Amino acid sequence: MARPGDAATMAPMSTPLLEFQQVSRGFALPDGRRRAVLHGVSFAVARGESLAMVGRSGSGKSTLLHLAAGIDLPSAGEVRLDGAALSGLADRRRSLLRRQHVGLVFQFFHLLPHLSVLENVALPGWVAGDPGAETRDRARELLERVGLADRADDRAGKLSGGEMQRVALCRALLRRPPLVLADEPTGNLDEAAGARVMELLLQLSADQHAGLLYVTHSREQASLAHRVLRLRDGRLEAGA
């Protein structure tokens, strides 16, 4: 599959959409020792750029995504989202910034099975207080894009895994976030469904000129991004 867009033709931006500046993260253990997960990680993601992060289990990939979303804060260094230093913000301000700027896609979908497909997609807009009619129209537009318009009124729990992940993509992109973060978005899918979801994730993100940072174990899926970085024992290496 050809990559949507071309990094060489993207307009340079003076302020990266997401920037890690010498970020380290460690956690205290019950015995009093400290476990270091990330060590001096630095990279940036521009608007319209896709970046794949690869690495073995335990290399720090999920921790890195939590820091990128402002769910967690670094032990040292700084994470900047659209120029704002996240460590200097109160919890509520970080939550609001995340709501406005970040779309999250998880490996395990996290849909509400008792709600309809359309309701699951529209939920972030309703929580944020967006106009109801506009939110529904946007949800239907995205479901049309991923081939699920005819399932809009079905309960989400009736969908296949690949269909659930397509709904999760729509939910993440509902409010047109400038940054999309995806944690192993095809990890629970078979090869065919995973390829379809990955194609849609890249295309939909490119269509709205969003920055995309995704974690994957797949070299093939990583190669679809504009750039690939590898985490090895919490340290960043260029290339897969």
Q: Give a yes or no: residue 158 inside a domain.
A: yes
Determine the Cα–Cα distance for residues 228 and 214; give it in Å rounded to an integer. Answer: 10
Determine the Cα–Cα distance for residues 151 and 219; give it in Å rounded to an integer. Answer: 32
Q: Give a yes or no: residue 232 inside a domain.
A: yes
| Residue range(s) defining the domain that contains residue 174 | 7-238
Query: What residues in the chain have per-residue pLDDT under 70?
Result: 1-14, 238-240
Place of tokens 């009736």: 158
Q: Which two tokens stand for residue 115?
A: 């709600």
User: How many Cβ atoms sit within 10 Å of the Cβ of residue 181?
Assistant: 27
Q: Give a yes or no: residue 17 inside a domain.
A: yes
Q: Looking at residue 239, what is its pLDDT?
A: 54
Q: Looking at residue 196, what is its pLDDT?
A: 87
DSSP state of 222: H
Determine the Cα–Cα distance for residues 46 and 69; give it in Å rounded to an integer. Answer: 15
Determine the Cα–Cα distance for residues 101 and 222; give it in Å rounded to an integer. Answer: 23
Q: Looking at residue 233, what is its pLDDT?
A: 87
Number of domains within the chain: 1
Q: Give a yes or no: residue 211 inside a domain.
A: yes
Determine the Cα–Cα distance for residues 131 and 144; give it in Å rounded to an integer. Answer: 20
Q: Report the CATH number that the domain containing residue 67 is assigned in CATH.
A: 3.40.50.300
Q: Give a yes or no: residue 2 inside a domain.
A: no
Q: Looking at residue 14, what is its pLDDT?
A: 62
Q: Give a yes or no: residue 123 inside a domain.
A: yes
Q: Are 171 and 120 spatial neighbours (Cβ–Cβ below 8 Å)?
A: yes
Q: Looking at residue 240, what is its pLDDT?
A: 47
Could you tell me where the beta strands, DSSP code E, fall in 176-239? 179-183, 211-215, 227-232, 235-238
Q: Are 141 and 204 spatial neighbours (Cβ–Cβ below 8 Å)?
A: no
Report pTM. 0.87
Q: Give a yes or no: residue 1 inside a domain.
A: no
